[in-house]
A and B are shown apart, each in its own frame.
Chain A
Amino acid sequence: MSAARKLACVVVLAVCAVSLAANWLAPAGYAKQFREVPNAPPSHQHLLGTDEIGRDRFARLLYGTRISLLLAPAAAFVSTVLAALVGGLAGYIGGTSLRLARGFTDLFLSLPWLFLLITVRAVLPLNVSPLVSVLITFLILGLLGWAASARVLSTSADALRNSDFVLQARASGSHGPRLFLIHVLPNLKPVLYAQFWISIPVFILSEANLGILGLGVAEPLPSWGSLLRELEGMISFRDEPWRLVPLVLLIIVMTSFQMLLSNEETA
C-alpha cells in the first residue's frame, strides 16, 4: 500500500471514529436549540457557531457525518447484492437470461441518475418522519444504484462461465447452485468488493445532491446534504467561512476515497 493510500485510509477511519464519538464530543445533540445565540460565530461553547435557529453546527456536523458515512456503505451493500443477483446470475446462466439482464441494465443506465433519483423519491411520500426519510433516501440509492455494477459483474460472470476451471468442474459433475456458490461466486469476490467500494463515494455525493435540493434527509436529522444546504443562504465566502467546514470535510473524505479507490477503478 502506498503512503498516499495509507494516509487516505487513516483520514477516512479518523473521520468515522470522530463521528461515532458524537455522543461524547457533542452531548447537547444535533437538535437542541440555543435560542439565546442564533447565528452565533465560533466560540468555546460552539466550535463552529450556531445555525439560524440556534443549533450547534459542530454537533450537527458530527451527527450528519455519522449518518452519511454509515448509511452510504449500507446502500452500497444493497446495490452490490442486487448487482450480484441480476448481473452475476445472468452472466453465469448466459444465453437469453444474459441478454435480458443486459437489456434491463441498459434501460436503467440510459436514465440520467439524478432524474431517476428525484422521480423515484417524488413517487414516495415527502412528508415523513426524519428517520423514515433517512431510510427512504439510502434505500432508493441502494435499490437504484445497481445497474453499473451489474453490467461489470455480468461480464465477469460470463467470462468465468466459459473458463477452463468451470468447464472442468462441470465435467466432474458439479452444476447448478453448487457450481455457482463454490466455483463462480468466490472468483467474483474481487469484482464485488471493488463495486462495493466504488459505490460508496457515488452514494455520498448523491445523498448530498438530494439533500441540497430538499429531497433527502428531513429536518431535524442532519446529513451532509442538509448541512450543505446552509450554503444556499451565503452571500460571500468571506462573511462566515466556518459555514464551509462541512464542504471542506466532504472534499477531504471524497479525496481520500478517490485515493483509496484509484487502483480499483483502473482495474
Chain B
Amino acid sequence: MLLYKIARHVAAIIALVLLGGLLSATLVRLAPGFDSDEHELDPGLSAESVRALRASRAGEHNILYFYADYLRAAAHGNLGTSHALGQPVQTLLRERWPVTARVAGIGLLLAWMLASTLAFSACLWPLPAYEFLGITLSGAFLCIPAAVLALISVILNAPGYLAIALIVFPKIYRYSRNLLSKAYAMPHITAARARGLGEIRILARHVLPVTGPQMIALAGVSVSIALGASIPVESLCGLPGIGQLAWQAALSRDLPLLVNLTVLVTLVTLLANSGADVMNYMLRPREL
C-alpha cells in the first residue's frame, strides 16, 4: 500500500512537471522577440551565416517539436545554455543549488523554531503576553514585503537566512496557532485536564497526534514559501543561489534558464509536498 502511494505520487509529479514544462515552453515560444537573435546584427556575418543561424532555429517554431527537443536533450543531461551568462544551465544549477539549499534550509529551521516556540508557549501557558507577542510579530512580518525584509537585513548586516526565517515565520505561526487552539478546545482535552493529566502529557499524547498530520503538511508547504522568498533575499543580499540566478535571468530575459529554474523549483516543491503526504501515511494510526 505504501509503495502504491509512493508510485502514485511519483506519477503525479512526473505528469505535473511535464505539463508545467510544456506550459513554460509555450510561454518561451510565444514570448515577444523569441524569433530574433542579436547575433544576426553582427556586421561580420555573411548572408549565408545569418541564413544558417535561422535554419538552426527552424525546429523551434513548432511548440511541440521545441518541447520534444528540450525533453530529449534534458534526458541526456543537457538543459541548454544560458543566453545571458553563456554557461550550460546544468553547470549553473549545480553551482547555485547548494547556496539556496543552505540559506533556505537554515531559514526554514529558524522559522519553525520561532513559530512553534511561540505557538506552543501560547497554548501551554495561556498568558496574554505570549498571545500578544505572537500576533504582533506575525502580523508585522506579514505586512512587510519579502524584498523589504531582505533590504532591512542588508542594512542591519544580518545574514540572509534570517530574512527567509522572518518571511516564513508568520505563515507557520498563524496556521499552527490555529491548529493548536482548535485541538486544545476539544472536549477530550478538557476531560484530560479535569482528570489531572500534566500539560506535557496532554501535548504529547492528545494534541500532537491530532495536529501532527496537518503540521507535516504545513512543513511541505513551507518549503515552497522559503524557495519563493529566496528570490528577493538572494538578489538583494548578494547570495549566489538559485533565487539570484532567477532574478538575473528575468532581468536579462534569459528564458531557457528561467524555465529550467521554474521547473526545478516546482519539482522540489512537489517532492516536499509528496514527502509530507507519504510521511503522514506512514505515521497514521494503524487499525487493529
Contacts and interface: CB of A to CB of B under 8 A. Distances in A.
Interface of A: 106-107, 110-116, 118-126, 205, 208-209, 212-215, 225, 228, 231-232, 234-237, 247, 250-251, 254-255, 258, 266
Interface in B233-282: 235-236, 246-247, 249-251, 253-255, 258-259, 261-262, 265-266, 269-270, 273
A110 B255 CA distance: 20
Contacts of B266: 110-112, 115
A231 B142 CA distance: 19
A235 B147 contact: no
A102 B146 CA distance: 29
B182 to A, nearest CB: 11
B228 A122 contact: no
Contacts of A231: 148, 151-152, 155
Contacts of A234: 151, 155
Contacts of A112: 224-225, 227-228, 265-266, 269
Pick the most buried of B24, B31, B231, B236: most chain A CB atoms within 10 A of its CB. B231
A228 B246 contact: no
Given A125-B33, A236-B155, 15 more contacts: A107-B20, A107-B23, A110-B269, A110-B273, A112-B224, A116-B262, A118-B258, A119-B24, A126-B251, A126-B253, A209-B147, A212-B236, A213-B247, A237-B155, A251-B143
Pick the most buried of A213, A214, A254: most chain B CB atoms within 10 A of its CB. A213
Nearest to A208: B145
A115 B262 contact: yes
Contacts, number: 130
B11 interface: no
B187 interface: no
Contacts of A266: 178
B59 interface: no
A122 B232 contact: no
B170 to A, nearest CB: 10
Given A208-B148, A236-B155, A113 B262 contact: no
Contacts of B236: 212, 232
A118 B250 contact: yes
Nearest to A252: B143
Contacts of B225: 112
A64 to B, nearest CB: 14
27 contacts: A107-B19, A110-B273, A111-B265, A111-B266, A115-B262, A116-B262, A118-B247, A119-B27, A119-B258, A122-B250, A122-B251, A122-B253, A208-B145, A209-B232, A212-B236, A213-B147, A213-B250, A214-B251, A228-B148, A235-B155, A236-B155, A247-B144, A250-B143, A250-B144, A251-B144, A254-B143, A254-B144
Contacts of B262: 111, 115-116, 119
A9 B192 CA distance: 43
Nearest to A231: B151
Contact of B145 (A115, A116, A212): A212
Interface in B188-242: 224-225, 227-229, 231-232, 235-236
B43 interface: no
Interface in B24-47: 24, 27-28, 30-33
Closest 10 CB pairs of A and B: A254-B143, A212-B147, A112-B228, A122-B250, A208-B145, A118-B250, A123-B31, A114-B228, A209-B147, A251-B143
A119 to B, nearest CB: 5
A228 B148 CA distance: 7
Nearest to B138: A258
A258 B27 contact: no
B88 interface: no
A146 to B, nearest CB: 15
Pick the most buried of A209, A214, A237: most chain B CB atoms within 10 A of its CB. A209
B288 interface: no
B28 A123 contact: yes
Nearest to B252: A122
Contact of B32 (A119, A125, A258): A125
Contact of A110 (B28, B33, B270): B270
Nearest to A106: B16
